[in-house]
Amino acid sequence: MREAYHVELEQLAEHLAAMSVQVAEAMELATKALLEVDLGLAEQVISDDAKVDDARADCEEQAYALLALQAPVATDLRTVLAAIHAAESLERMGDLALHVAKAARRRHPEPVLPESVRPYFAEMGDFAVKLARRTEEVIKTKDVAAARTLESDDDQVDDIHRHLFSVIMDRDWPHGVATAVDVTLLGRFYERFADHAVSVARRMVFVVTGKMPGYGPETDEL
């Protein structure tokens, strides 16, 4: 009985890892759609978002069933609770990739981003995808040291996000208010995507140590 239970816990972790792959691919395609003004890729991300939503629902259903039927304690209880929180964060990462894709579709056939800021978004996109893929590995391995290293890439995204404000607030910004708003919102989407990846990693640290890492206050907002 206990062996079957632990098999179910492993399956739950595998489902979360698969969600990490889904949202990594979604953000990778959404960023490409944004930078290359590719409507087809944007539409693909938008249509595939339902799969991420379904994956979250499946993870939560499995987690709640384990809580109800097995009454887990200690590490097992932490694993199930962490899975519920992680599934929520991963689903929100999918939503953020969706927002990027919708921005690309909304402005098509015109580019959303001026040429001057595209390199910043290319870099944030690379970091975001890297974070999601490293989250997959952390979920699989529950490697505390690896989980903690996600903070450095998140800091890089935060730095670029802050720099974007100085770019659009410059008195010589030539692209108008609407474009400045687009750049601000898109920068926020990438920044939140990275934050949620770190949140998932923190949950894995909680599973192993029983304590949430003291990186600072968490937030669940998009």
How much is the pTM? Answer: 0.92
The CATH topology of domain 2-209 is Methane Monooxygenase Hydroxylase; Chain G, domain 1 (1.20.58)
- State which amino acid sits at residue 154: D
Q: Is the pLDDT of residue 219 over 50?
A: no
Read off the pLDDT of residues 35-74 as tens digits, 9 standing for 90 and up: 999 999 999 999 999 999 999 999 999 999 998 888 788 8
**Residue 221 pLDDT grade (very low, low, confident, very high; cuts 50, 70, 90):** very low
Asked if 135 and 197 count as a contact pair (C-beta separation under 8 A), the reply is yes
Parse the chain into domains and list their residue ranges: 2-209
Q: Which are the contacts of 95, defined by CB distance < 8 A and separation ≥ 6?
A: 49, 52, 222
The helix or strand, by DSSP H or E, that contains position 134, with its residue range, turns out to be: helix 118-141
Buried-state track 70-104, b at ≥16 Cβ within 10 A, e below 16:
bebeeebebbbbbbbbbbbbbbbbbbbbbbbbbbb
The C-alpha atoms of residue 83 and residue 85 are separated, in whole angstroms, by 5
Q: What is the spatial distance between Cα 108 and Cα 22, in angstroms, rounded to a whole number?
A: 25
User: For the segment 99-157, what is each residue's pLDDT rounded down to a tens digit?
Assistant: 999 999 999 999 999 999 999 999 999 999 999 999 999 999 999 999 989 988 899 99
